[in-house]
Amino acid sequence: MPELPEVETTRRGIAPHVVNNAVTKIVIRQYQLRWPIPRAIKTQLPGQTIISVDRRAKYLLLKTDSHCIILHLGMSGSLRILNEMSKPEKHDHVDIVFKNGKVLRFRDPRRFGSLFWTKDDPLSHIRLISLGIEPFDKKFTGDFLFEHSRKKTCNVKFFIMNAKILVGVGNIYASESLFAAGISPLRIAGSISKKRYTQLVNSIISILKRAIKSGGTSLKDFKQSDGQLGYFTQQLNVYGKTNEPCPHCQKDIKQVTLNQRSTFYCASCQT
Ligand SMILES: [Zn+2]
């Protein structure tokens, strides 16, 4: 599933090709994504120029002077830049064709992605308005997590994966960040000190940044006609490493199910 670093990598990959380019047409082969694509986009988008590509959580915001495309890649979605229109494959649901000949193609085999079209502020869209803080926001600090976790009786992994508090920490990043900060995923969120939350914030930011940097190496693919974004493959310390030695203490990595998600940690290094 595309996580925040992959979405950010996608944003950086497509932006140079689509910003300041006028759309000549949009081809929609499948309207039924997680929510139906609004039909108005078919007639309203052509003739408009994309002025920016932003990101909020895992949503990409392609703004024109009057509207915004809000795109989510869902479980299996991807965007590619093609140099010219080529024969679409089975799951290629949407093509946005630009005046300079480039095509932005949206593929989504499982169709959990979505494409909204709005003339209102995208940040006030129903899917976005309740989202929590961005991990790269200056206000995302140890103080922030400390204040928001007081009286919370859930475990800390559940707490940092709650998109109403903080966006961008999926299952892999939650396990890896907690390991880097030495915090057990089983700890009660409300019982963790400000100092330890500061360590956790630093871990989350550096792990996400590293992932984006590593994703950046695949950006060259956007220049190829069949450019498929390669998802990042960074060194993982605990995720998926059940019974392998902890890189710090050599004891076995444990796997437990927390909040219905596989969770990996070192019981000796994480307390
Ligand atoms: Zn260890």
Q: Which of 161, 70, 171, 163 is nearest to 113 (CA)?
A: 70
pLDDT at 218: 45
pLDDT at 234: 61
How high is the mean pLDDT of the chain? 92
Rounded distance from Cα 169 to ligand 1 centre (Å): 22
DSSP-assigned letter for residue 246: P
Rounded distance from Cα 198 to ligand 1 centre (Å): 20
Q: Are the beta carbons of 229 and 222 closer than 8 angstroms?
A: yes
Residue type, 237: N
Rounded distance from Cα 246 to ligand 1 centre (Å): 5
* Phi, psi of 188, deg, nearest 5: -75, 130
What pTM does this model have?
Answer: 0.90
d(CA 108, CA 105): 10
CB atoms within 10 A of CB 152: 17
Task: Answer yes or no: is pLDDT of 160 > 70.
Answer: yes
Q: Report which secondary-structure segment, H or E, holds 18.
A: helix 4-18
* pLDDT tens figures, 222-267: 543 334 444 445 678 999 999 999 999 999 999 999 999 999 999 9
d(CA 182, CA 25): 51
The beta strand positions in the chain, using DSSP E, are 21-28, 49-50, 52-56, 59-63, 68-72, 78-82, 92-98, 103-107, 114-118, 254-258, 261-265
Residue type, 87: K
Distance from CA of residue 121 to its chain's centroid? 20
Kindly list the catalytic residues.
2-3, 58, 261
DSSP-assigned letter for residue 253: P
Collapsing DSSP to helix, strand or coil, 35 comes out as coil
Rounded distance from Cα 206 to ligand 1 centre (Å): 20
Task: Answer yes or no: is pLDDT of 65 > 90.
Answer: yes
* pLDDT tens figures, 88-142: 999 999 999 999 999 999 999 999 999 999 999 999 999 999 999 999 999 999 9
pLDDT at 216: 52
Rounded distance from Cα 263 to ligand 1 centre (Å): 15
Q: Which of 248, 160, 257 is nearest to 266 (CA)?
A: 248
